[in-house]
Structure 1
């Protein structure tokens, strides 16, 4: 069988590889992002970044660790996820754990923890160095992680005497080119504050000070530097509006929101100035320069103020973080409310009174509770039948106008799945999607019968959006010549809306995902599914889109996040090639699963013999089975649609039920190969390869091929839902699964014979788990 020798590694050959823990594949470098932070970012929930040089170089132990823990508590008490950023053993880390914070707060006796700014990041990452990130370093990593608000103590700036030393903090340069909002007590008082804020103006950095109009910029320890503030803001919501506008305008410069220290922590300007001037003289006499000067000055000021400067510093940092977290929370709400697609209210779709009455007559649970949601595209399908066009003679119809018949029907992969599943089960299913104002009354626009339509309360109307559209050209036999899809509205479906709707649905059994979505909303589906305790079925949709799922954090068996996928042969091949090119087939966890499968030559020969005996030599030559087996550690249940040849199922499971299977089993007649591997984490590992023969249909019965695959997947989803309600896991039972696939294939045949993308006759198919 082509491909087995090159795709499957012999168990005796080990390949050593190093994979960074928590590597986020979408970032341009290896960055470890805490799961809590990733989940919040994907769901557009508030996160506030915190720097680490204040821990490694600013405040001594044990005050630093006490403050770090307290800052996290302050953020969480406001409903905001804290993310302390640092470089730990060469790994840029966003969201340090408690253990990592303790490690950072107790530097080695030789003081080898370094300050990490932009210029240092690459070198220190390459050499495995640990260090505290400055405002510049923290801003870079926060921006890469998608964090918008960063709270800290004081900004670096132009040092006194910079006209001769040129000692200017990289913090200022970074604020001029990184779009992040820094919340601080102004700039450090040891600096030349006038020159610092002139520099920020030159760099186009927005500066606002908290307080009524006329409130001056603070001076770190003291409330008033005497420098007028260009702008003022009077609430977190006010600051959030500026940050949001900065993003809408596409400005790539940062913003500085200055917070005067609370009265109880402020030190009078005259008193602190005397201490600073004395400390600066001492630094000059000792010839302290560069990175060492700030820690030296802060330590000397601590001594001169008898510890009051430290108390002040800790006090206003806590205040800054509280306000910064509040700004992050206000920004999250602002962006949810102002999104073109998002409106948290679940009543965005208008339903006529007559339709509502019909819907209420159905025996459905309350609108907030469903067993399953489908996240994906709703589209208006235009199907063009060209009776004189043939695939074998393109010259007869290309580059000219063709006579034919055009049909307008409801469609979109996600909607088709949802409708087919709703026709095939009594389990309540809700659609999560978005449409344009042309579909405000969705049921009317799509000409839906409310007695069979799914719950569409999760669909929102984007007032300035355009409903997704799909145009397909069919030849005289109903075969697809080519198609064009505009799914832009659905692709950018807001992650926050998805998370809201999944949470609103309550405990879920299954979530079906249409791969038309972009990376962020797809990741939100997986994250939200984990919280809801739901299993995920993925419909890859198209070759180019099928690759997207492998760019997500989908995990590896048995800690996978996608349970079932239903690719066709082209999509499966695209997934495999993408996984190989991304290096995903080199991960130690992946090899661990493949080794446990122990697919020897006997297994490969058995699959090849079974496939060829059933007339599937073409699929053997394409390497469909080995490519599928390579995908099983990521998605343990693959139902590959192979067109006129039916369906190939490839499964990775702990135990096989049905037919009294106790040993490896090969059944050519029923197209079945059961292969028992070794144990994985104390559990059995089995691979089941099965060919499900197609149902025959006469060519002259085929009306349209559009929606046949979606009908198959929708009924498969319905069967999974019904079996779960009856306490049966059909994915582990050979006999039950055979019946499930049979019903799903019958649904596809019904749709082939119908004008609509989904045949309404599906509701009349006998049920296996009613």
Structure 2
């Protein structure tokens, strides 16, 4: 053991306190995170070393339960739920023949994006050796989602004791003839991990499943979930099964006490805590039994047996119940992850209290996998039940205090804490109308002045909401500042906002007497889902009367919040009337915030150059706006608005332009080399240069052509002297003003190609794609802090935009998987 680069806490104990129990040395194996077959992520290693709550998550639900990109959205959602409730998620899967505990964003995307492909494996205990051992043979690179049994094994190897999942495998009906018993049950009999699920799927034999678990020595209990007395063991889609649960626990703390006692006694079997599906999503047992009966008959007729039976039966149940079972499935998984995380948090709290007890014994028995894990490695007892145990002196414990499971009030206080980013603008109820011509039609675009067949979806949107949502999913601390009317749409918007775990502290409901209506947006898209026409009612942000409800809300509601929180970044969308936009700009400047501007549309972009007195758009080095993210149409609108308003005739604008070092003869060749001849012909780079004095950093979104970044560099910027950045330095200051207060150093211009070519058939909706890009940039700038460079964030922002392009929602829920790239 001493020869390993690192080892478990037990193995570092003093030699005089060591004694081995139960098993000989030959049953002990050691494995490190540097093994070619096993890897634990840095985040999970660190969390376990610091004794923070870690929750294991399986991956077959993504690889074999949901299609891409819905599975990526679910993965992001479940990991977010773990974090929100005080834990660290550890998604487990097999990628390139390596069992991974805690998958990074790109790893997870690689795994789940191959869902439905025949080469993607469903990996149980029996398969681990094959998948890991045969990778590399004949050029194979084997990937797979881990089932409950494989996830338990790998979680235990990493020192994770709590695992949350959807449902447990069980004994199949008719098992007395088929001998069809899930490996999940035998794994629970020999791997000491606490599994939180909604019981076994109700097409299984629940009484026999519980009998088998008892034979295996598995502790089984059901959460009372507010009920008194005896309760049923749940039947997955239904809260009740008609079969009484062996034991009942009232809360997460009671479950944690059971796990703590179980581990302290050195028991090597697992535990199963059944969490009933939330009542509002429960499907009556009699309804499910009718669907199950028909599905089982069809499976028998089709000859679906063994491993093929469960997928076949699930597909038939989905077909027979419509979306009810799918909605219920997702709801119960989310509830189990929340419950499992709170159990893990309660367990850490309990262990901390035990460590601080004055009557605590001088030594304790610690079993293999019981968090004997350091930030650099792990030594594990693997083999027959029992394994290797070591008597550990109490002085070696480094248990940290874990937070209490969050209550509703605690969650509110966390959600409404001061934010690093304020995003001010529209919160809409969106309607997306995708033209859906009948089969055989060659028509590409909907016809005017008549009705057209379409697929219509409703969601929460609005530019500011989308930007804030993207930044939130990328892990930034965000507050959305907007207004809704006291109407049905407003109530729906607030409910949807709360359901997405975003703070509503900055959203004001304006009284009905003010005539305010909740913003709504209707997008008409062609058959390729490209925007044809959009209609937006955001009049709620346009009332400019001094005594209007909106003006009073700014002075008495938003401004105090901004001044108290003093966020480092403020993002504004152009849905504000120029007067309100000016107020927000002045307020952001007063607290020294980095201000970003999202132009919204060609019609509204011009508001930036039509600010009323006393507001004036300032230029570099005191620019009012630091970053803008227009598309090419919005860029042109900004350029023409600046010209029409006389902004290009201002002396302070000319001083900056003169200092940029652009030759008087123009820079067509340099611009073409930096971008492309086509972009130069359109005038795109030229327009960004002329706008730089007012907006020193412009990210122009070019769709399939990528992103053009144009930014003004200060005279002391190290990029002006960097060989790596030299290809992107378009010009340098040549008029001698670089050492003056103006301090212009030059221009950085870089064309980033698109990160992925997305086929037309893979595009789900273009709505919110640009907003996702902007929100991701903001999140990166805020998380990386002062000195963060935009060019280091464009790639991940494009990746986020692609996820939204493939999502029905205005911002893809899968963004959370990219958060670690910032």
> Which of 1 and 2 has higher RCO (CA within 8 Å, sep 6+)?
2
**TM-score (normalizing by structure 1):** 0.48
**TM-score (normalizing by structure 2):** 0.45
